[in-house]
Amino acid sequence: MDSDIRVELYRMMVLIRTYEEAILREYHADKQPVFDIGAGLVPGEMHLSAGQEPVAAGVCAHLGSGDAVTAPHRPHHVAIAHGVNLDAMTAEIFGRETGLGRGRGGHMHLFDPAAHFSCSGIIAEGMPAALGQAFAFQRRGTDRVAVAFAGEGAANQGAFHESLNLAALWKLPVVFVIEDNDWGISVPRSASTSVPSNGVRGAAYDIPGERVPDNSVEGVHQAAGRAVARARAGQGPSLIEVHTLRLWGHFEGDPQAYRDDLDGVPGRDPIPTYESTLTEAGLLDPERISKIHEDASVRVEQAISFAKDSPIPSGEQARDHVFAQEAHR
């Protein structure tokens, strides 16, 4: 694998982790001493993606800004890897007028039309829109693709199966990516899913399906490379499941008392693992590692500052944007 790509994958994972750690810090900073989910500068549910960086980094490395991406309720890693405007995304999470949705959306509802990015808080229901984006790309004769991310819980939803069938039927340039982080909130995969690999579900729709078993960013990168190339070549959709890791709770404030795998979690963190791999390969050294972290931190703190310095929307404007302004046609 190309050395620059390997370092770039590492750099992206570090940027994502740095971002999630900063949001974690900001989220809890003003919810002390008693946790109140509705309090503080960043209120509401917060689903952070630490541990799942390899999926976003490995897939999105194959995409350009003209390609479309849909993500679920845990969207930050995917948004960052796809190049969503970080300042505007952060401002949205802080509910500011400069946010992607001018503070109307929040962290589960991020829309960046420049990056053809959207996400949805309803399990599996963000996936069908990717079909429509792929349909538009196909009709316009482009080789652009759409990637639909979802968790392993989503693979038991009707929307997932309907989408696979329709995408396969119409040979739409879509890649379906299932992030299996073992847990549907508190329900383990073993209690929700009848198959050991959701990759096998591709066979039900006569499309390629595979499972990347080890949360390896390079494994994801290779699988996604095949799937994206296939979509760009007009050969239709593919399905990839990645066995990834939910390093933290389902949402912030989740005590995770149900979780029996916590002891082993730190050892499964994909970033130190990959850091060692690249160090052994001579691509990273302590100085370079520290520079990558420092650059990430500067970028993330700039986004946090941008958000905090941005105006808060006025309650008088709460009724704006329900409908598009008068048609210009």
Which spans of this chain sit near other proteins (rule: CB under 8 A)?
A: 68, 99-106, 109, 111, 113, 116, 118, 120, 122, 125-137, 139, 146, 158-159, 162-163, 165-166, 169, 320-325, 327-329
Give me the least distance between CB of 312 and other proteins, in Å please. Answer: 14
Decide if 237 contacts 173 (C-beta within 8 A): yes
Return the number of the residue (23 or 68) whose C-beta is nearest other proteins: 68
Tell me the closest approach of the beta carbon of residue 29 to other proteins, in angstroms.
26
3-class secondary-structure state, position 203? helix
Residue 71 CB, shortest distance to other proteins, in Å, is 14
Whole-angstrom distance, CA of residue 152 vs CA of residue 160: 10
* Shortest Å, Cβ 17 to other proteins: 27
For the CB of residue 262, give the shortest distance to other proteins in the complex, in Å: 33
Closer residue to other proteins in complex, CB, 116/246 = 116
Between residues 6 and 82, which has the closer beta carbon with respect to other proteins? 82
Label residue 234 left, alpha or beta by phi (over 0 means left) and psi (-120 to 50 means alpha): left
**In the complex with other proteins, which residue's Cβ is closer, 42 or 91?**
91
User: For the chain, where are the alpha helices, taking DSSP H only?
Assistant: 3-29, 53-60, 76-81, 86-93, 127-139, 158-169, 217-232, 270-280, 286-309
What string of DSSP letters covers 92-118?
HHTT-TTSTTTTSS-TT--EEGGGTEE
Q: Between 81 and 124, whose beta carbon lies closer to other proteins?
A: 124
Task: Say if strands 68-71 and 238-243 run parallel, antiparallel, or are unpaired.
Answer: unpaired
